[in-house]
C-alpha cells in the first residue's frame, strides 16, 4: 500500500510540473483555441517617409467640442485597409455514399479512411504599410495567410491584385504580403501604440463576415494583456491591446485606429459568443511590436529569433513557494533555469540548472514569458549580460545567443541536461509519499525520457540524498553540486525504501 501511495503522490507531482515547466527550448507552438476563443478570421462556407505622401486623407485630433462623429478618422483609415481572400488546401476523409452508409462498402473499394484534398476559401483583412517602387506591402495575421495557396488583395476603391506571401510567423501571428502596381496606393500612418491609455477611443476597420470596409468603434479596455489572460490560442510573444470595439470573423489582420487616423494595432483574436460573434472582448497586436516584424519580413522573409538553449519554469511564491524559498528567491521576480542544452549558448557561457534569471541587459525579467521574449528579441551574435541568482548570490554572466532553428532541430531530449526537475522534500510531500523522517534530499518531480537523467534510470519520486559524495538537503544543494560537476555526476537516491547509486553524464 505504501508503494501505491508513493506512486500516486509523485504522479500528481509530475503532472504539476508538466504545467509549470515551459517548452524545452521556448517552443511557442500555438494551441487550438477553445470554442469561445477564436481568430477573427472568416472561413467562407513602421511608418516610412513616403507613407504620408500616399495617405488618402490626414486628420487632426478630435476637438473636445466635436459632435461625436468619427467620420474623419474613418475616412483616413478605410483606404489603407484591404480585404485578403485566400484559398487553402486541406485534407479530409472522403465522404461515404448513402449506399455505403446503409449497406457497407462495395467490393474492391478503397479504404474508408482515404484522405482527399479540398480547397477551402477564407477571408481576412490587412493594412497597407509600405511601398518600394512598384511593390506594395500589406501587414496581416499569419493565421489568415500562413497556409494559403492562393491570395487575392482587394483595395477599398475596388481594385484587386494577386498577392504573395513575403513572410509569416506563428509565434507573433504576423505576416507580410506583397502585390505589384504602378498606380497610386494609399499607405497607412503607423501610430505609437505605447501611448494608448485605457479609455481612449479607437476604431476597428476590416471585413467581418465578408462585409467589406466595416468600421466599428470602442475604447481601449486594457493594455498589456498576456496570452494566458486573453486566451490559450494566442501567440505568446505578444502583449495584446484589449478593446470593446466589435471585432468578428473576417476582421483578422485589420486595423485598430486611434483618433489621429493612425494604425496602432492589428486586430487578431476575439473571445466570442457560441454563434461566433463579438461580445466586446477583442484583442489586437500593438503596432510597436509589429514594426520590427515588418522590417524583418521584407529584408529576411522571416523573423530571426535568438536562442539560449534552456528549459524554464516559474519559481514564484504563487506557483512553487517551497522551491522559491529553498533557492533563496522567495521575494524576487524572475525565471528559473530547469535544464540546459548541451553545446548551447547557455551551456557554453556558464548558465546552469538552478540559476534564477532576474534581468537580461537593461530589461527586468519578472517571469518566464519575459525571459522568452527578451531572448527572442536578441539578435544572433549579440553579447548580453544576464543577471542571475545562484546559490543565494548575485552573479553577472555575458552570454552570446545563437539563432533559433526549427523546432524539430532544437528539441532533442538527448541534449537536455540534466533532463529532470527537482524540488525540496517538504512536509507535505513527505506525508503524502510516506517518506521516512530520516531521509532528506531533493525530490525528482519530472524526468525527460532519453535525457541523461532518463538514461541513468532516474524516476519521478526518487529522493536524491547525495551527489558526488555530498549531502543533499534540498534543491539548492543539488543544483550547487550539479553546477560544479564535470565528467560524471554520481547520485545516491532513495526509492521505495531502497538506496540506489546511479551515474549521470555531467554537463
Which residues are part of the catalytic machinery?
143, 173, 252
Helix, coil or strand: residue 30: coil
| CA–CA separation, 263 and 464 (whole Å) | 56
Cα 443 to its chain centre, rounded Å, is: 30
The owner of cell 506571401 is 165
Q: Minimal CA–CA distance to 86: which of 278, 255, 253, 256?
A: 253
User: Could you please report the per-residue DSSP string of 144-181?
Assistant: HHTTEEEEEEE-TTS-EEE-EEEEEETTTTEEEEEEE-
What is each CA distance from 67 to 57, 74, 216, in whole angstroms?
20, 15, 17
Neighbours of 352 (CB within 10 A): 21
| CA–CA separation, 199 and 219 (whole Å) | 5
Helix, coil or strand: residue 397: strand
| CA–CA separation, 81 and 357 (whole Å) | 42
The owner of cell 481594385 is 159
| CA–CA separation, 256 and 77 (whole Å) | 9
What is each CA distance from 349 to 4, 321, 341, 480, in whole angstroms?
43, 29, 12, 17
CA angle, 146 as apex, 142 and 152 as ends, to 5°?
95
Amino acid at each position: 500500500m505504501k508503494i501505491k501511495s508513493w506512486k500516486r503522490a509523485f504522479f500528481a507531482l509530475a503532472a504539476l510540473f508538466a504545467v509549470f515547466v515551459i517548452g524545452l527550448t521556448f517552443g511557442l507552438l500555438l494551441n487550438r483555441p477553445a470554442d469561445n476563443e477564436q481568430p477573427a478570421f472568416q472561413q467562407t462556407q513602421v511608418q516610412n517617409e513616403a507613407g504620408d505622401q500616399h495617405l488618402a486623407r490626414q486628420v487632426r485630433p478630435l476637438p473636445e467640442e466635436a459632435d461625436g462623429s468619427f467620420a474623419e478618422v474613418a475616412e483616413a483609415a478605410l483606404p489603407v485597409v484591404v480585404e485578403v481572400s485566400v484559398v487553402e488546401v486541406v485534407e479530409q476523409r472522403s465522404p461515404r455514399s448513402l449506399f455505403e452508409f446503409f449497406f457497407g462498402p462495395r467490393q474492391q473499394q478503397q479504404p474508408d479512411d482515404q484522405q482527399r484534398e479540398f480547397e477551402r476559401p477564407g477571408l481576412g483583412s490587412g493594412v497597407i504599410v509600405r511601398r518600394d517602387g512598384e511593390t506594395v506591402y500589406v501587414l496581416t495575421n499569419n493565421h489568415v495567410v500562413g497556409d494559403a495557396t492562393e491570395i487575392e488583395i482587394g483595395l477599398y476603391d475596388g481594385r484587386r491584385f494577386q498577392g504573395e506571401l513575403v513572410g509569416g510567423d506563428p509565434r507573433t501571428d504576423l505576416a507580410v504580403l506583397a502585390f505589384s502596381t504602378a498606380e497610386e496606393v494609399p499607405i497607412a500612418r503607423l501610430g505609437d501604440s505605447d501611448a494608448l491609455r485605457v479609455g481612449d477611443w479607437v476604431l476597428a476597420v476590416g471585413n467581418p463576415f465578408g462585409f467589406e470596409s466595416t468600421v466599428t468603434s470602442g475604447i481601449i479596455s486594457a493594455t498589456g494583456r498576456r496570452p494566458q489572460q486573453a486566451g490559450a490560442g494566442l501567440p505568446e510573444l505578444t502583449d495584446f491591446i484589449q478593446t470593446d470595439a466589435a471585432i468578428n470573423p473576417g476582421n483578422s489582420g485589420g486595423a485598430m485606429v486611434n483618433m489621429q487616423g493612425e494604425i496602432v494595432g492589428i486586430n487578431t483574436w476575439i473571445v466570442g459568443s457560441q454563434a461566433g460573434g463579438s461580445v466586446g472582448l477583442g484583442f489586437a497586436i500593438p503596432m510597436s511590436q509589429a514594426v520590427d516584424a515588418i522590417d524583418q519580413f521584407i529584408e529576411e522573409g522571416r523573423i530571426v529569433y535568438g536562442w539560449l538553449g534552456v528549459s524554464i519554469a516559474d519559481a514564484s511564491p504563487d506557483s512553487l513557494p517551497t522551491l522559491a524559498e529553498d533557492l533563496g528567491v522567495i521575494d524576487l521576480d524572475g525565471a528559473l533555469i530547469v535544464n540546459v542544452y548541451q553545446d548551447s549558448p547557455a551551456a557554453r557561457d556558464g548558465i546552469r540548472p538552478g540559476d534564477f534569471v532576474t534581468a537580461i541587459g537593461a530589461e527586468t525579467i519578472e517571469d518566464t514569458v519575459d525571459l522568452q521574449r527578451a531572448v527572442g528579441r536578441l539578435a544572433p551574435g549579440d553579447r548580453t549580460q544576464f543577471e542571475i541568482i545562484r546559490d543565494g548570490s548575485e552573479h553577472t554572466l555575458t552570454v552570446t545567443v545563437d539563432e533559433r532553428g526549427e523546432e524539430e532541430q532544437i528539441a532533442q531530449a538527448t541534449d537536455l541536461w540534466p533532463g529532470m526537475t527537482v524540488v525540496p522534500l517538504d512536509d507535505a510531500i513527505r506525508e503524502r509519499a510516506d517518506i521516512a523522517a530520516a531521509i532528506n534530499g531533493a525530490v525528482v518531480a519530472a524526468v525527460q525520457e532519453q535525457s541523461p537523467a532518463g538514461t541513468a534510470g532516474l524516476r519521478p519520486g526518487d529522493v536524491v540524498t547525495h551527489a558526488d559524495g555530498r549531502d543533499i538537503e534540498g534543491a539548492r544543494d543539488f543544483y550547487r553540486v550539479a553546477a560544479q560537476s564535470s565528467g560524471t555526476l554520481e547520485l545516491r537516491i532513495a526509492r521505495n525504501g531502497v538506496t540506489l547509486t546511479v551515474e549521470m553524464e555531467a554537463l
